[in-house]
Amino acid sequence: MKKRLPRVPSKRQIRVGEMLRHTIASILEKHTLINDNLKDVSIIITEVDASPDLKNAKVYTTRLGGGDMDLVIDGLNKIKSFLRREIAKNIHLKFTPELKFYEDKTFDEANRINELLNRPEVLRDLEKK
């Protein structure tokens, strides 16, 4: 059986994802007290991946300054119907995508790689070249 390669998003998916990212960030900036889990929390929407049919969107987010992301993700998933209504008011699409929020772990992964590169044994090996 052949292994399937990941599908490259179309320009339209990327464009819609960016429009969604900006719109969601703007909505959250204006409505911070919607959910108890989101009070006094600065949230960054890092990326939105729209499905090929644009009916679903994965929203990747992180919390500025770190902290418990489980509560933030739970809070965002609880207000997703509100967010969809607000998105529908701001972006004119045939379908307003169903939203699903996820923690963006790319910053954690970048920090881990940076720590690995700064280990004494790695620095020693890099100096030999």
Q: For position 2, what pLDDT does the model report?
A: 61
Amino acid at 81: S
Q: For position 36, what pLDDT does the model report?
A: 73
Higher per-residue confidence, 8 vs 100: 100
**Residue 120 pLDDT grade (very low, low, confident, very high; cuts 50, 70, 90):** confident
> Under a CB-based contact definition with an 8 Å cutoff, are residues 56 and 98 in contact?
yes
The pLDDT tens digits for 85-111 are 999 999 988 999 999 999 988 776 777
Q: For position 8, what pLDDT does the model report?
A: 84
What distance in Å separates the CA atoms of residue 111 and residue 104, rounded to the nearest whole number?
A: 13
Higher per-residue confidence, 14 vs 115: 14
What distance in Å separates the CA atoms of residue 40 and residue 62, rounded to the nearest whole number?
A: 14
- Its pTM surpasses 0.85: no
Cβ-proximal residues to 73 (8 Å cutoff; 6+ apart), any chain:
61, 101, 102, 103
9: left (phi over 0), alpha (psi -120 to 50) or beta: beta
Q: Which domains does the chain have, with CATH numbers?
A: 11-128 (3.30.300.20)
